[in-house]
């Protein structure tokens, strides 16, 4: 009879997520994962199958948490749709600028490392970006109905532009662009939104 698990799965996934996020998939060894999680190799393999299985669970956790934050920002009833969109753009630039560890976004890092070689990862990344873009587009459409954004603008196309901007801000930060420049870029992006 197998022994019952003596660990909190969510804690293990969070520890593994942080390890993968910091090091990347390829540079994270099973020894790194056992040290980070406190589990032996047997327990790790028994619970998650293999390194890739644990990575997928960690990536799912990151995506879920990140999309919850995005949805919270873009659906905050305390602000108009236009204000939520602007706050999201500025907030993403601020988050990049204050990322002292230079870890960036695990989703973007994963896409760069594995997106073209791992079909399962590619599907998860594409789905996450699609959901994010959809949430932005919904907010833009709401701002159009409110009369704050030009109704002639293609909400999906503008959402794609905003998503490309927020992903690009992170890449610029990792490349050494100063926080003031990221803030200025965010203000420029806001200025490009065709308001009424």
Tokens of 27: 């540079």
How far out from the chain centre does Cα 91 lie? 13
pLDDT in tens, 118-154: 999 999 999 999 999 999 999 999 999 999 999 999 9
Instruction: Give the confidence band of 1 by pLDDT, cuts at 50, 70, 90.
Output: very low
Distance CA 189, CA 89 (A): 8
pLDDT in tens, 24-34: 999 999 999 99
Please give the pLDDT value at position 5.
58
Q: What is the pTM of this model?
A: 0.91
CATH 3.30.360.10 fits 59-192, yes or no: no
- How far apart, in Å, are the Cα atoms of 157 and each of 8, 45, 126, 162? 42, 43, 16, 9
For the chain, the distance separating the N- and C-terminal CA atoms, rounded to the nearest angstrom, is: 68
Residue 58 near residue 51 (C-beta atoms within 8 A): no
């Amino acid at each position: 009879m197998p022994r019952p698990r003596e660990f909190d799965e969510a804690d293990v996934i969070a520890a593994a997520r942080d390890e993968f996020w910091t090091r990347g998939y390829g540079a994270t060894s099973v020894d790194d994962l056992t040290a980070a999680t406190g589990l032996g190799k047997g327990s790790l393999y028994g619970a998650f199958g293999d390194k890739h299985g644990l990575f997928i669970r960690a990536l799912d956790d990151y995506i879920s948490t990140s999309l919850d934050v995005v949805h919270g920002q873009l659906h905050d009833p305390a602000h108009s749709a236009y204000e939520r969109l602007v706050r999201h753009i500025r907030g993403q630039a601020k988050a990049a600028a204050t990322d002292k560890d230079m870890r960036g976004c695990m989703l973007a890092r994963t896409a760069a490392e594995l997106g073209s070689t791992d079909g399962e990862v590619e599907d998860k990344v594409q789905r996450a970006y699609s959901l994010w873009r959809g949430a932005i587009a919904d907010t833009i459409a709401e701002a159009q109905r409110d009369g704050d954004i030009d109704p002639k603008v293609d909400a999906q196309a503008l959402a794609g532009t905003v998503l490309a901007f927020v992903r690009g801000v992170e890449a610029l930060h990792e490349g050494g662009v100063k926080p003031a420049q990221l803030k200025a870029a965010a203000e420029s992006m806001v200025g490009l939104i065709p308001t009424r």
